[in-house]
Amino acid sequence: MNTTHDKLVILDRDGVINHDSDDYIKSTEEFVLIDNSIEAIIDLKKSGYKIAIATNQSGLSRGYFDLKELQKMHDIINKKLSKYNQKIDIIEFCPHLPEVNCECRKPNPGMIYKILEKLAINDLQNCWMIGDSLKDIYAGQEADLKTLLVSTGKGEEILSTPSLFDKIPKSTNIFKNLDEASKFIIKNTLRE
Protein backbone atom coordinates (compact mmCIF):
# COMPACT_ATOMS: atom_id res chain seq x y z
CA MET A 1 0.00 0.00 0.00
CA ASN A 2 1.40 3.39 -1.00
CA THR A 3 1.15 6.28 1.42
CA THR A 4 2.06 9.87 0.67
CA HIS A 5 4.19 11.61 3.27
CA ASP A 6 3.29 15.19 4.18
CA LYS A 7 6.09 17.54 3.12
CA LEU A 8 6.66 20.75 5.03
CA VAL A 9 9.53 23.13 5.75
CA ILE A 10 9.04 25.78 8.41
CA LEU A 11 11.48 28.65 8.17
CA ASP A 12 12.51 31.25 10.66
CA ARG A 13 12.57 34.61 8.85
CA ASP A 14 15.28 37.01 10.08
CA GLY A 15 18.70 35.46 9.59
CA VAL A 16 17.38 32.66 7.35
CA ILE A 17 15.46 34.34 4.50
CA ASN A 18 16.61 37.91 5.06
CA HIS A 19 19.54 39.51 6.85
CA ASP A 20 19.02 40.03 10.58
CA SER A 21 19.89 43.00 12.79
CA ASP A 22 20.33 43.35 16.55
CA ASP A 23 18.32 46.58 16.14
CA TYR A 24 15.39 44.65 14.57
CA ILE A 25 14.21 44.73 10.98
CA LYS A 26 11.79 47.65 11.18
CA SER A 27 10.97 48.53 7.57
CA THR A 28 11.04 47.32 3.98
CA GLU A 29 14.21 49.41 3.50
CA GLU A 30 15.95 47.25 6.13
CA PHE A 31 14.51 44.03 4.73
CA VAL A 32 17.35 42.62 2.59
CA LEU A 33 17.11 39.07 1.28
CA ILE A 34 20.01 36.67 1.81
CA ASP A 35 21.55 35.50 -1.46
CA ASN A 36 19.75 32.48 -2.96
CA SER A 37 17.12 32.29 -0.20
CA ILE A 38 14.24 32.80 -2.66
CA GLU A 39 15.75 30.24 -5.05
CA ALA A 40 16.01 27.75 -2.17
CA ILE A 41 12.32 28.22 -1.35
CA ILE A 42 11.43 27.73 -5.02
CA ASP A 43 13.45 24.50 -5.16
CA LEU A 44 11.61 23.19 -2.09
CA LYS A 45 8.22 24.17 -3.52
CA LYS A 46 9.05 22.44 -6.82
CA SER A 47 9.94 19.33 -4.80
CA GLY A 48 6.44 19.30 -3.35
CA TYR A 49 7.11 20.97 -0.01
CA LYS A 50 4.71 23.37 1.63
CA ILE A 51 6.60 26.34 3.06
CA ALA A 52 5.67 28.17 6.24
CA ILE A 53 7.36 30.94 8.18
CA ALA A 54 7.34 31.06 12.00
CA THR A 55 8.91 34.28 13.22
CA ASN A 56 9.23 36.05 16.57
CA GLN A 57 8.40 39.72 15.94
CA SER A 58 8.47 41.44 19.32
CA GLY A 59 9.30 44.67 17.46
CA LEU A 60 5.52 44.98 17.06
CA SER A 61 4.98 45.14 20.84
CA ARG A 62 8.00 47.42 21.19
CA GLY A 63 6.44 49.86 18.72
CA TYR A 64 9.30 49.64 16.21
CA PHE A 65 6.91 48.89 13.33
CA ASP A 66 3.24 48.10 12.82
CA LEU A 67 1.28 45.25 11.24
CA LYS A 68 1.06 47.11 7.93
CA GLU A 69 4.86 47.38 7.70
CA LEU A 70 5.27 43.73 8.70
CA GLN A 71 2.87 42.74 5.91
CA LYS A 72 4.86 44.84 3.42
CA MET A 73 8.03 42.93 4.41
CA HIS A 74 6.28 39.60 3.84
CA ASP A 75 4.90 40.89 0.54
CA ILE A 76 8.50 41.29 -0.65
CA ILE A 77 9.03 37.54 -0.24
CA ASN A 78 5.78 36.56 -1.94
CA LYS A 79 6.28 39.06 -4.77
CA LYS A 80 9.65 37.48 -5.57
CA LEU A 81 8.11 33.99 -5.39
CA SER A 82 5.12 34.97 -7.53
CA LYS A 83 7.45 35.41 -10.51
CA TYR A 84 7.79 31.61 -10.34
CA ASN A 85 4.08 31.01 -9.58
CA GLN A 86 4.93 30.17 -5.97
CA LYS A 87 4.06 31.61 -2.55
CA ILE A 88 4.59 30.99 1.15
CA ASP A 89 1.73 28.77 2.33
CA ILE A 90 1.42 30.22 5.83
CA ILE A 91 3.15 32.97 7.79
CA GLU A 92 2.79 32.88 11.58
CA PHE A 93 4.34 35.54 13.77
CA CYS A 94 4.52 36.13 17.50
CA PRO A 95 4.17 39.83 18.41
CA HIS A 96 4.77 39.31 22.13
CA LEU A 97 7.63 40.43 24.33
CA PRO A 98 9.71 37.61 25.87
CA GLU A 99 8.47 38.37 29.39
CA VAL A 100 4.85 37.63 28.38
CA ASN A 101 5.74 33.90 28.39
CA CYS A 102 3.25 33.13 25.61
CA GLU A 103 2.95 29.75 23.93
CA CYS A 104 3.69 31.13 20.47
CA ARG A 105 7.09 32.75 21.02
CA LYS A 106 9.94 30.43 20.11
CA PRO A 107 11.50 28.41 21.76
CA ASN A 108 7.89 27.44 22.55
CA PRO A 109 6.31 25.46 19.69
CA GLY A 110 2.93 27.25 19.55
CA MET A 111 3.42 28.73 16.06
CA ILE A 112 4.58 25.35 14.72
CA TYR A 113 1.53 23.57 16.15
CA LYS A 114 -0.71 26.23 14.58
CA ILE A 115 0.95 25.72 11.19
CA LEU A 116 0.63 21.92 11.41
CA GLU A 117 -3.05 22.29 12.32
CA LYS A 118 -3.85 24.80 9.56
CA LEU A 119 -2.15 22.63 6.94
CA ALA A 120 -3.69 19.43 8.40
CA ILE A 121 -0.28 17.76 8.66
CA ASN A 122 -0.07 14.61 10.78
CA ASP A 123 2.85 12.71 9.27
CA LEU A 124 6.03 14.48 10.42
CA GLN A 125 8.61 12.29 8.65
CA ASN A 126 9.22 14.93 5.96
CA CYS A 127 8.70 17.97 8.19
CA TRP A 128 11.62 20.27 8.94
CA MET A 129 12.42 23.44 10.87
CA ILE A 130 15.24 25.65 9.59
CA GLY A 131 16.53 28.40 11.85
CA ASP A 132 19.56 30.46 12.76
CA SER A 133 19.05 30.39 16.53
CA LEU A 134 18.75 27.86 19.33
CA LYS A 135 15.17 29.12 19.91
CA ASP A 136 14.25 27.95 16.40
CA ILE A 137 15.90 24.59 16.88
CA TYR A 138 14.34 23.98 20.30
CA ALA A 139 10.86 24.90 19.02
CA GLY A 140 11.27 22.52 16.07
CA GLN A 141 12.49 19.70 18.28
CA GLU A 142 9.68 20.23 20.80
CA ALA A 143 7.21 19.78 17.92
CA ASP A 144 9.04 16.62 16.71
CA LEU A 145 10.32 18.18 13.48
CA LYS A 146 13.75 17.50 12.01
CA THR A 147 15.91 20.56 12.63
CA LEU A 148 18.58 22.34 10.60
CA LEU A 149 20.70 25.26 11.77
CA VAL A 150 22.08 27.76 9.26
CA SER A 151 25.17 29.88 9.97
CA THR A 152 23.62 33.02 8.49
CA GLY A 153 22.15 35.46 11.04
CA LYS A 154 22.72 34.38 14.64
CA GLY A 155 23.98 30.96 13.54
CA GLU A 156 27.52 32.21 13.08
CA GLU A 157 27.70 33.34 16.72
CA ILE A 158 26.34 29.99 17.93
CA LEU A 159 28.90 28.05 15.89
CA SER A 160 31.81 30.20 17.08
CA THR A 161 30.86 30.25 20.79
CA PRO A 162 31.67 26.93 22.50
CA SER A 163 29.08 27.36 25.27
CA LEU A 164 26.35 27.92 22.64
CA PHE A 165 27.67 25.32 20.21
CA ASP A 166 27.40 22.69 22.96
CA LYS A 167 23.65 23.45 23.24
CA ILE A 168 22.91 22.44 19.64
CA PRO A 169 21.03 19.12 19.75
CA LYS A 170 23.11 16.30 18.25
CA SER A 171 20.36 15.47 15.75
CA THR A 172 20.52 18.96 14.21
CA ASN A 173 22.44 19.27 10.95
CA ILE A 174 24.32 22.52 10.30
CA PHE A 175 24.54 24.33 6.97
CA LYS A 176 26.06 27.52 5.60
CA ASN A 177 22.71 28.94 4.45
CA LEU A 178 19.14 28.16 3.41
CA ASP A 179 20.26 27.16 -0.08
CA GLU A 180 22.52 24.39 1.26
CA ALA A 181 19.90 23.30 3.80
CA SER A 182 17.22 23.04 1.11
CA LYS A 183 19.43 20.85 -1.07
CA PHE A 184 19.98 18.53 1.91
CA ILE A 185 16.22 18.30 2.55
CA ILE A 186 15.42 17.52 -1.08
CA LYS A 187 18.14 14.83 -1.14
CA ASN A 188 16.84 13.28 2.10
CA THR A 189 13.13 13.35 1.35
CA LEU A 190 11.39 10.08 2.20
CA ARG A 191 9.59 8.69 -0.82
CA GLU A 192 6.27 6.89 -0.77
pLDDT in tens, 49-82: 999 999 999 999 999 999 999 999 999 999 999 9
Whether residue 131 lies inside any domain: the answer is: yes
Whether residue 129 lies inside any domain: the answer is: yes
Number of domains in the chain: 1
**What pLDDT does residue 1 have?**
38
Cα→Cα distances 47→6, 100, 116, Å? 12, 38, 19
Full-model pTM: 0.96
**What pLDDT does residue 3 have?**
52
CATH number of the domain enclosing 93: 3.40.50.1000
Whether residue 192 lies inside any domain: the answer is: no
Considering just the CA atoms, what is the radius of gyration of the chain in Å? 16
One-letter amino acid for residue 105 of the chain? R
Whether residue 123 lies inside any domain: the answer is: yes
Residue ranges in the chain whose pLDDT is less than 50: 1-2
Structural domain range at position 106: 7-187
**What pLDDT does residue 5 have?**
80
- Active-site positions read 12, 14
**What pLDDT does residue 183 have?**
98
d(CA 154, CA 15): 7
